[in-house]
Structure 1
């Protein structure tokens, strides 16, 4: 059966035999441009483009911030607290000098620091708060980069020779004191009397103020000389724990095995993964959930591509029928609508990629500008642990986001393009 169109069909299809010919790109481009009759279709295409752009950009930004959180928290938690913790089993750790020297000789161990730890109440004339007091030697505290390398006022020189303390900047601000001022420490573990244990109260000058950049540490850590801490907490020449810093925090198990094989005395070992497991697991779960939730934005935008192409196919039914009668194959029609839908997804993904990377790389400057415009601190370090918003771009995550967006966009075009290719030209012309 034939339909008279007034035009002799060409001996060859206008597109030739190679895929995605120039004719197909030209036609797809015309379908994407706005016309009065297809204005609503173009509006849907525009919203699809914006949806994919915002979805991809948001995914890249959120993944970068989550990566920055994990990196900063891991560096600071592990950098201040050590990687492996050795505590005594049978008797007090009064031979800590011998044990720490033996541990330093094990390959892979960078530092072995004996510590006395205890809780106390820090107070001044303007405030008070609970703190964690750590007794440490001067050489050891200077060897911890996040402490010795971040002194903001005062000095650690002569730390062992005087009963002074080093405190975090946030604690100093809350107590209203500066380097050179005095603060009072109150501990329930005081001297024994006939009426019970009396609290120990003692004033200490502040020798140095440090800033790690993590709210919990800057607001609660107090470092004092090891000998002074032993006297303050009634330690008879022993320590609570030996903190071990290794060269590679991700290979703590091999170092633990070496310690167990060469330890000078029985020790209970734990590492940073065990102590912070729930915290970092929560971060990983939050990261995965955010990825799934934000992927729905891209999925909704891809569904808009489906609806827009279906409407375009319905509107172009007569045009498709005329092309088919002139010699265009069903493959040509399929490719035209594939290009039309894929163009929205590809350009939206590329635009979102550029926006997300630029935003993630300049997030601190953008946050500072927003704080200036709103007149408020949008990043409260007391709630979010860190002083500044972190951002680390993981290009593996970026590739995954782009691949996911392109895949969803291309899959969204298959059904409408297939429907267009299956149109019967005779029935389409009769309906038109």
Structure 2
């Protein structure tokens, strides 16, 4: 498409000579603008992808892909029901558990928290907790006074393995003097770091038998938590479970798309809006390409007239300026892509460096849920950004190149 003649002339025009520096500076700013726009798009989209994937993995990892809840608050004969659910294709684990709220007390520390009671095997299957123990051992998760807590709760309450923490529930026994809260002390046998501040500070785990005693639910649980092979395709599994327990009026089935869909939907909308807003950066840079090419065409009017008189066609003139503009777009896109990918691959190191340099917390886990800055490169999305930048850059060159091709050599040379 581009012959040696067009490439030679375009290369000569891109190398600014004395008296032509201003046009070259505008072209450089256009290149920098495209590079920054592409890099920003790749970085922001990757951070949003990482945030969504990490958040989804941790929320589903701790809460399950779907759950069976008791219509009358509790479920009896839960072992048989869990065994039935495990037979459903696509189900990995089905864990009976008790979940309830309590006040967590240790010395002067008091805070509300969520108490979960589950078997040792159930806790082993909950990899977000069992694989993230920073102290203690799951082997001691037995008896009626064992408890596993989060690392943030341990730090704030000054607890370690072997320490005592007291659970206080307002739903106690009724007496002539009113309802007496249930109070029970437990020994810390393990400390976990789930990577999410809300879970590290607000969730504690008891053995299932101990939770049944504390919440006064003998031989009962509040739900059966189910993990599936593919959380993104959970609806067919939910429908299969509903068919398997269709004759059991005690339970209702709820998957994560029903319980957390609004939250993940908000994250997706935010990602789409950011993409549209940041695309404007590339669009502004494309307008700079238009302005620099128009100025180049004005500056090279005499050269264009000479080229036309010695036999250059309108198509050749158009291709010359197309190459000039496309070179800026392609180079800027390539530089921006390289910057964006390198930044994403080292984003946590960069964050820690900036934090140490400024002395401020740039990613507060209490606000952003996660304790590190995630980034996930989705290559189809990266190629989409590259394609969009190249298309905008190419479109920006069409009008100035067309104007250059329409130059009348007679009118252009009349005033020379």
> What interval of TM-score do these two structures reach, taking the shorter chain for normalisation?
over 0.9
Please give the alpha-carbon distance, in whole angstroms, between the structure 2 residues aligned to 1:251 and 1:345: 40
Distance 1:22 1:285, change over 3 A: same
Please give the alpha-carbon distance, in whole angstroms, between the structure 1 residues aligned to 2:304 and 2:140: 87
* SS state at 2:401 partner: helix
Q: Does structure 1 residue 390 correspond to structure 2 residue 370?
A: no
Please give the alpha-carbon distance, in whole angstroms, between the structure 2 residues aligned to 1:370 and 1:287: 24
Counterpart of 2:208 in structure 1 is: 226
Question: Would the aligned equivalents of 2:144 and 2:209 in 1 still touch at CA under 8 Å?
Answer: no
Please give the alpha-carbon distance, in whole angstroms, between the structure 1 residues aligned to 2:236 and 2:56: 20
Counterpart of 2:407 in structure 1 is: 423
Deviation of the 1:98 alpha carbon: 1.6
State how 1:341-360 maps to structure 2 within 5 Å: 341-360=325-344
Q: State the TM-score, normalizing by the size of structure 2.
A: 0.96
Counterpart of 2:15 in structure 1 is: 33
Q: State the TM-score, normalizing by the size of structure 1.
A: 0.93
Match of 1:283 among 267, 276, 279: 267
Deviation of the 1:212 alpha carbon: 0.9
- My pick for the range that moved more, 324-333 or 28-37, is 28-37
Counterpart of 1:176 in structure 2 is: 158
Q: Does structure 1 residue 120 correspond to structure 2 residue 102?
A: yes
Please give the alpha-carbon distance, in whole angstroms, between the structure 2 residues aligned to 1:346 and 1:108: 46
Question: Would the aligned equivalents of 1:128 and 1:174 in 2 still touch at CA under 8 Å?
Answer: no
Q: Does structure 1 residue 77 correspond to structure 2 residue 39?
A: no
Deviation of the 1:126 alpha carbon: 4.3
Match of 1:376 among 360, 384, 387: 360
Q: Residues 371-392 of structure 1, C-alpha deviation per residue, up to 9 Å, x if partnerless?
A: 2222332221111111111111
Structure 2: 5+ residue stretches without partners: none
Please give the alpha-carbon distance, in whole angstroms, between the structure 2 residues aligned to 1:411 and 1:252: 43
Question: Would the aligned equivalents of 2:74 and 2:223 in 1 still touch at CA under 8 Å?
Answer: no
Please give the alpha-carbon distance, in whole angstroms, between the structure 1 residues aligned to 2:73 and 2:157: 38
Counterpart of 2:318 in structure 1 is: 334
Deviation of the 1:341 alpha carbon: 0.5
State how 1:15-414 maps to structure 2 within 5 Å: 19-89=1-71, 92-263=74-245, 265-266=248-249, 267-414=251-398
Distance 1:179 1:327, change over 3 A: same
RMSD over aligned CA atoms reads: 1.4
Q: Residues 118-176 of structure 1, C-alpha deviation per residue, up to 9 Å, x if partnerless?
A: 11111222422211011111121112111111111011213232411101111111212
- My pick for the range that moved more, 309-318 or 186-195, is 186-195
Deviation of the 1:298 alpha carbon: 0.4
Please give the alpha-carbon distance, in whole angstroms, between the structure 1 residues aligned to 2:212 and 2:144: 14
Please give the alpha-carbon distance, in whole angstroms, between the structure 1 residues aligned to 2:178 and 2:397: 80
Deviation of the 1:108 alpha carbon: 1.9
Q: Residues 351-385 of structure 1, C-alpha deviation per residue, up to 9 Å, x if partnerless?
A: 11111111111111111221222233222111111
Please give the alpha-carbon distance, in whole angstroms, between the structure 2 residues aligned to 1:191 and 1:228: 18
Question: Would the aligned equivalents of 1:138 and 1:158 in 2 still touch at CA under 8 Å?
Answer: no
Question: Would the aligned equivalents of 2:140 and 2:189 in 1 still touch at CA under 8 Å?
Answer: no
Structure 1: 5+ residue stretches without partners: 1-18
Question: Would the aligned equivalents of 2:145 and 2:185 in 1 still touch at CA under 8 Å?
Answer: no
Question: Would the aligned equivalents of 1:126 and 1:176 in 2 still touch at CA under 8 Å?
Answer: no
Please give the alpha-carbon distance, in whole angstroms, between the structure 2 residues aligned to 1:147 and 1:140: 11
Please give the alpha-carbon distance, in whole angstroms, between the structure 2 residues aligned to 1:51 and 1:195: 74
Q: Residues 286-330 of structure 1, C-alpha deviation per residue, up to 9 Å, x if partnerless?
A: 111111111100000000000011111111111111111111111
Deviation of the 1:183 alpha carbon: 1.1
Deviation of the 1:251 alpha carbon: 2.6
- Please identify the structure whose Cα radius of gyration is greater: 1
Question: Would the aligned equivalents of 1:165 and 1:208 in 2 still touch at CA under 8 Å?
Answer: yes
Distance 1:378 1:89, change over 3 A: closer
Q: Number of residue pairs matched?
A: 414
* SS state at 1:172 partner: helix
Question: Would the aligned equivalents of 1:214 and 1:386 in 2 still touch at CA under 8 Å?
Answer: yes
Please give the alpha-carbon distance, in whole angstroms, between the structure 2 residues aligned to 1:54 and 1:184: 54
Q: Residues 10-38 of structure 1, C-alpha deviation per residue, up to 9 Å, x if partnerless?
A: xxxxxxxxx41212112111211223322
